[in-house]
Structure 1
Amino acid sequence: MKLTTREIAFLAKDFPKKTDISLFANINEPLDGSEERNLTDKGIYKDGKLTGEAKKILEIVANAKRCTRLILRDGLIYVEKYTYKVDDKIVMAENDAGEMVFSIPDNFNKTIYEVSEFIGMSKIKTADIEILLSADEMLVILAMVDIYRKKVLLTYQGQGISGETITLADISKQLEKPAPNSLVQMLKKNYKYTEPEEGKVKEIMESLIAKECAISEDGYVLTSEYAIFAKNFLIPETIIMIENFNLNKNNEMVVAGGLGVCAGIKDNLTFIFGINEIELTSASGFQMLQMIENFLKCPEIIEEETDIVEETPALPANKFCAECGTKIVSGAAFCANCGKKVK
């Protein structure tokens, strides 16, 4: 079933109790008077009412309290999909050149295969990184990764590089004026992150050294695993953004989300955005596909308790995901493998 945005806006009146995350609550398109006739011609409307199959699908979209949005960008290619969930029923809505195609999928095999055409299905990854960072720590480590990437790319042009050591001035420059197509630029531009306060970079570097991301060596160098990652994560091509929306018991919107960046069949980087921290993980294509599939199922977002006075104990060292069995990074909000919220 395919609908234009005007037809969706017209149908909104049929669902006076639509939820805030429903597509019908988020499209405001001026009508031109042809909508009812067009819907009747499509068999979606009859005698001024929705027909059976269309009503079944659109009632789920209208009443959903859980929704997931998936966006994939690769050059000029743009893929946008939504899933809406009521009880155990899920409807998928796909953007097709500005019109929305609705269906009730038996599974997500078609979508996962479509995404795999861009990121592959390999279980192999070049480097093994999994860490929880503050926003400032994330930007600083990405600045170092960007500098490594630039040096490696320059070698392909026959230009020599002056070792791997990076100065605080180098890092600060990349944070303040990130190079085009750099990871820092992507996060600052698309997610509105701002560089750390002036003078804080050295303090943040000490924190990253304590977390074994970097070493102080007449300046700074990345530790082995991060250096391997940086030297191979050279030209990002595919970007995948995924957001999960829930309405909680107070009918307030709760949002969780992640970002995946692919720079080769074995070089993917995922960001899971928590309230105060970001989980940064190198992932195989297979792991990214698992995470995307789990997000498409519109999982429940477990909200953080805010009325507990005593300090919450740290996660035990060997806590594992209840969904897929993957070991959880201490303090992580989501499983890096499947995307399930950690309880």
Structure 2
Amino acid sequence: MSGEFNLIDKYFVGRQSQRKDVLLAAGDDCALVKSPSNVAIAISTDTLVAGTHFLADANPSWVAHKALASNISDLSAMGATPAWVSFALTMPEPNEEWLAPFCDSFFRLADYFSLQLIGGDTTKGPLSLTLTVQGFVPEEKALRRSGAKVGDWIYVTGDLGDSKAGLDVILDNVNAHKQYAKVLEERHYLSSPRVLVGQALLNLASSAIDISDGLISDLGHIMTRSGVGASIDVDALPLSKELMGFTQEQSIAQQYALTSGEEYELCFTVPEYNKGSIESALSHTGTKITCIGQIRPIGTFELKKGDKVLDWQLNGYDHFKGKQ
């Protein structure tokens, strides 16, 4: 890309948080980092492509937040502490009016989580972003998808469904009420990675996953990896007032909550013996948690409303089809 090194120097080098465990950061052929003892390194890579994960004319500061937050969310699902990030940017032409707000937002979120940029690349092509975030978690304590047991309780953080509603607003698929549209659009792009929650769950949860493809799909990953089933109480699903106002009908809002992708909330399971202490253990995080169901034997998956089993046919988000 023309002016690549000028862009790197102006917008990326020297702006990052300075961590003591980074021996050599961006500006050389490789970064050098020193990991603490007795930890495992958690690594997550995501690619966001214009037209698939965000519109090409989307607010660049929102795009930056979404790109970094989605990667940090993967670390939070394993209880990891964010440490380092590398970032590759492909764009059609150098565009400082786009890069300036993008980088301001990127480094604001990185600084909040004490996350240091340690390397990256820029090149010419269709607009896309690839990030690799690394962090650390105590050895043998990382949360996984594979630990759920029959009888465990299923929890989620925050409210669900807002991201899908926000996407509908962005794509103008639904004639949203104006008082809800901006809030929902922001919630699609400006998620809050649940890092503190993930860390607090290390000794409490039996499994965890972040909700990126929709609750049904992502809980399905826990079921598959753990060899279990699940029962969900749809009336327990946490719904925001904005989503309720947007959909105007509880059952529609509940279906949004079950299928909404790119929420970046956590879904986790808790053994019966930890259920009584889970809320107090997470009180310092300031994050709402809701028990929405229970793990059942393998082969069982049901959506329940009271004593009634619903026959809703729902799917999560499919990035290749680009729809929910």
TM above 0.5: no
Structure with bigger gyration radius: 1
Into which bin does the TM-score normalised by the smaller protein fall?
Answer: under 0.3
Higher relative contact order (CA 8 A, sep 6+): 2
User: What is the TM-score when the length of structure 2 is the normalising length?
Assistant: 0.24
- What is the TM-score when the length of structure 1 is the normalising length? 0.23
